[in-house]
Amino acid sequence: MRKDSEEMCDSSNCFPLQAMESAKLETVCIFGTGDFGRSLGLKLLQCGYSVIFGSRNPKSSNLVPKGAEILNHAEAAKKSAIIIIAVHREHYDFLRGLADVLKGKVLVDVSNNLKINQYPESNADYLAGLLPGCKVVKAFNTVSAWALQSGTLDASRQVFLCGNDAKAKEAVMEIARSLGLMPLDQGSLLAANEIENYPLQLFPMWRLPCYICAVFTVLIFLYCLVTEVFHPLATRKEDTSYLIAISIPNRVFPVVSLILLALCYLPGILAAIIQLYKGTKYSRFPDWLDQWMLCRKQLGLVALAYAFLHAIYTLVMPIRYYVRWWTNSYLITQIKDNATYPFSNYYAWLSDSYVALGILGFFFYVLLGITSLPSVSNAVNWREFRFVQSKLGYLTLVLCTAHTLFYGGDRFIFGPFYRWYLPPVFVVSLIIPCAVLAMKFILIIPCLDQKITRIRQGWERKSKTANMNC
């Protein structure tokens, strides 16, 4: 392990990624020689800073980057006005003995906890209480050692920071900019708890979409299980459990995908209805609607993933044993009956239309997913992004809904497809999309559309009381 670290420091990674200035920048002190402390020190050296490491055992700490000086904590602190505390909160007690040396200096707390809200106060607040004479800034805790070693190319460049001293924050922000990072000031140390919790959150914006997707997946799967497995077993003693592997999933994925796509546009319609009802855009939406609107992007990407699964499952259909057996059995039946079923122009059009609408719908689905990527969305202006996500989004919903309608064909009215009086699953899948499209069609009626546009431009409907006062 030590040998690998020494080789890392001797490698070309130790040379600056950016051209050094002729004069070195200010000196930065780092308390802690762990993975993050060494990676941050190496990056600072590459950007032209003088780096001093403070360690309990300077002589035994031989893994620091080449070019950095290593001293005990007190001596290292005297040589720099900015000290990065790269140790865990449990080891902060040694700083009490350095209170006089650290007085008036900028302490940058980079620590994280093992779980959200692990302590009553944030680590930065604890450090500020421990050393009241210092200027504490919370920063760099959202950047990993790996991101620093790889040139911050494989991770987010954003660095959240907060502190009570404006000059101290500006000094730390300048260091972050020199490292090629993007500092974002979050205010006073009151924001430190939120900043420390941020790296511990596991896909916070994906939870609600995943919960919604999981609920619909389970419900539709159970529905298909009842109509396609339990019903034949109960009525005809026929075992169709083999459908669980391919056929039923290939019904669940497109149904849930279509429902999720409709749910991406339903909150915008509900918001428009609320604005119409209240006659203003300055009234706050309910919390559930706010959360729903914030996760629409993630909801759409989950829907796209299910559409991909549907496309893959559909492609493997012809190689299934059941399909090949059914095709052969169909041909043998015609031979035995000495009858050839005539070609139906109606079913040919129905089949080709169903497939063509599916291909077009999937194409626009993928287009929506691509434009939601940050690298793509940042390259288009607001009007272009809105056109793709709104106009083409509704076009995608129309195409996918029509794809399902053509798939059903005349089976909507055939009694045998309604098992135990339950409609086929493709009928169930159309309830929410058709409701969304119907409401959208009503809202784009010129009189309503113009009123919504005026409200969103700041117009407000005067109340009866206001009218009486006038």
pLDDT at 9 over 60: no
In this prediction, residue 419 carries a pLDDT of 86
Closest among 282, 279, 310, 276 to 462, alpha carbons compared: 279
| Whether the Cβ atoms of residue 95 and residue 102 lie closer than 8 Å to each other | yes
Model confidence over 169-184: pLDDT tens digits? 999 999 999 988 999 9
Whether the pLDDT of residue 7 is over 60: the answer is no
Cα separation values, 219 from 139, 291, 292, 432, 444, Å:
45, 23, 20, 15, 33
Note the pLDDT of residue 193. Answer: 92
- Over the stretch 413-433, which tens digit does the pLDDT of each residue have? 776 778 888 999 999 999 999
Q: If you average pLDDT over residues 55-72, what whole number do you get?
A: 83
The pLDDT of residue 4 is above 70: no
What percent of the chain has a predicted confidence (pLDDT) above 90? Answer: 58
The model's pLDDT over 352-396, given as tens digits with 9 standing for 90+, comes to 999 999 999 999 999 999 988 877 777 778 888 888 888 999 999
pLDDT of residue 16: 42
Q: What per-residue confidence (pLDDT) applies to 464?
A: 46
Q: Give the angle 240-245-247 at the CA atoms, nearest 5°.
A: 70
Q: Which of 27-31, 76-80, 176-180, 380-384 has the lowest mean pLDDT?
A: 380-384
Structural tokens at position 195: 């900043």
Which tens digit of pLDDT belongs to each residue from 198-254?
888 777 788 889 999 999 999 999 999 999 999 999 999 999 999 999 999 999 999
Strands 158-163 vs 135-138: parallel, antiparallel or unpaired: antiparallel
How much is the mean pLDDT over the chain? 86
Q: What is the reported pLDDT for 18?
A: 42
pLDDT, tens digit (0-9, with 9 covering 90-100), for 284-342: 889 999 999 989 999 999 999 999 999 999 999 888 888 888 888 888 888 888 887 78
- Model confidence at 32: pLDDT above 60: yes
What pLDDT sits at residue 465? 43
- In angstroms, the Cα distances linking 16 to 68, 177, 260, 433 are 14, 15, 48, 56
pLDDT grade, residue 153 (50/70/90)? low
SS3 content of the chain, % helix, strand, coil (to 5): 65, 10, 30
pLDDT band at 155 (very low <50, low <70, confident <90, very high): low
Which token pair is 60?
């035994």
**Measuring CA to CA, which residue among 81, 87, 45 is closest to residue 168?**
81
Is residue 15's pLDDT more than 50? no
The whole-number pLDDT of residue 20 equals 40
The phi and psi torsions of 113 (rounded to 5 degrees) equal: -105, 175
Q: Is the pLDDT of residue 17 over 60?
A: no
Q: Is the confidence at residue 63, as pLDDT, over 80?
A: no
- H helix intervals, 237-337: 249-278, 287-294, 296-316, 321-337
Q: What residues contact residue 246 under an 8 Å CB cut-off, 6+ apart?
A: 313, 316, 317, 320
* Of 257, 256, 233, 248, nearest in space to 320 by CA: 248
What single string gives the DSSP state of each residue in 283-305? Answer: SPPPHHHHHHHHTHHHHHHHHHH
What Rg do the C-alpha atoms of the chain give, in angstroms?
A: 32
Strand ordering across the sheet containing 50-54: 69-71, 50-54, 27-31, 82-85, 106-109, 135-138, 158-163, 182-185
DSSP, collapsed to helix, strand or coil, labels residue 3 as helix
Helix (H) or strand (E) holding 217: helix 207-225
The CA-atom distances, in angstroms, between 391 and each of 276, 364, 396 are: 21, 11, 9
Indicate if the pLDDT at residue 96 is higher than 50: yes
